[in-house]
Amino acid sequence: MTVFPPPVEPPPVEWSAAELGALRGRRIVLGVSGGIAAYKAVEVCRRLVDAGAHVIPVLTEAALRFVGAPTFSALASEPALTSLFDEAEPIPHTRLGQQADLVMVVPATANLLGKYAAGIADDLLTATLLATRAPVLVAPAMHTEMWEHAAVRDNLAVLRSRGVEVEDPVAGHLAGGDTGTGRLAEPAAIVVAAARVLARTAHLTGDLAGVRVLVTAGGTREPIDAVRVITNRSSGKQGYAVAEAAARRGAHVVLVSTTGLPAPAGVELVGVQTAAEMEAVVMARATDTDVIVMAAAVADFRPKAPPEHKLKKDDGVPELVLEPTHDFLVDLGRAKRPGQLLVGFAAETERLVEHASDKLAHKRLDLIVANDVSQPDAGFEVDTNRVVLVDAVGHVEHLPLLAKIEVAGIILDRVSGLLAATKERA
């Protein structure tokens, strides 16, 4: 007779009435993917409904091999949905994504996590995940070997960097008699995690509705000749994160970018290359903008009078004469109208706060975001950032290493607060 070791008991779930109250009246899409732990999603569904949430179940084809749609239809607020094509409406994922306050996936299999990280939308659940701006919470469940696989860890890192919440699995008995980490978190813990996500983001929903936000992103590219350019290492990721987060919070967002990255959902993208091109677009739109976030790394210098043809190696080493670009952020500060906010960025390698404070004062900014780009885990070309926020009254806030989407959220928290203070004074 095989004797299994006792499972490791998960820690007790602690919550407050206020946290669970965050579920009341909220629309939650409960996605269920195809793992043996799908049966526990039934209990999650029941607990969410009992807490007052409006729950719409979405089951994958593989999930239906473990649980039945009628079970969820009986417990949830709406009938379970299972297909992109069999429903009465032609684009159900769009409605689900737009109307959701939270999208959950319980359990989230390795396959589901991989598709979500790669942007694959081949069923109703994955299409809904890509069609929503609501917070997303995934609760993975799988065998230990799969949970510890490098591909799964990488996919989770990508999702976390995009702001996806993860309720990690626990240790315990697994399918087939195995024991290890990979067991779905307890339904009560998942429900509390959902409540905490909603409680934490409740004040963000729509707090920038109607606000016109302009964001710049990427490093400008100044031509040396018809082929070569001078540029910098800015990837544009932080600017894109700010634009995406602002759109999620209801703002009308224009993103002026030098990169080839696609526009985040709901964001108007304007492509430019040089500092002069960026200046022309930003200055033309500045008057009708409430918040300008200058996250781009605009060149300080450019080649003077670059030739229109490609320079040849046989011609010898060209004499490269540089001239300063025009600092149009100074113009924005001088022309700033009452109630308009101007946020700058400072990429530094030393004396971070000192240089950022000088730049803030000289350019009449309301807030500046400074980061030490000499650090390998922050700044250019990575998905994380470690920044210092300095405002116009001298308040300095050091943030720990965070995903850039999280940094964007904190920046917009400060912007939202400054806008509210401006309205109170008006």
301: β partners: 324
Angle between helices 124-131 and 110-118 (to 10 degrees): 40
The active-site residue out of 155, 232, 371, 385 is: 232
Residue with tokens 């309301």: 366
Residue with tokens 């080649």: 303
Rounded Cα distance between 97 and 82, Å, is 15
Residue 362 in tokens = 């000289």
- Which residues fall within 8 angstroms of residue 15, CB to CB, at 6 or more apart? 192, 195, 196
- What number of CA atoms fall less than 13 Å from residue 168's CA on the CB side? 13
- Determine the Cα–Cα distance for residues 290 and 337; give it in Å rounded to an integer: 9
Would you call 109 exposed, middle or buried from its count of C-beta atoms within 10 A (0-12, 13-18, 19+)?
buried
Distance CA 239, CA 219 (A): 11
At position 190, the amino acid (one-letter code) is: I
User: Which residues have a Cβ under 8 Å from the Cβ of 300 and sit 6 or more positions away?
Assistant: 324, 325
DSSP 8-state secondary structure symbol assigned to residue 297? B
Residue 232 annotated to the active site: yes
DSSP at 177: G
The answer, yes or no, to whether the previous bond of 6 is cis (omega within 30 of 0) is: no
- Return the residue matching tokens 């004396």: 351
Nearest to 185 by CA among 167, 203, 200, 197: 167
Catalytic center residues:
232
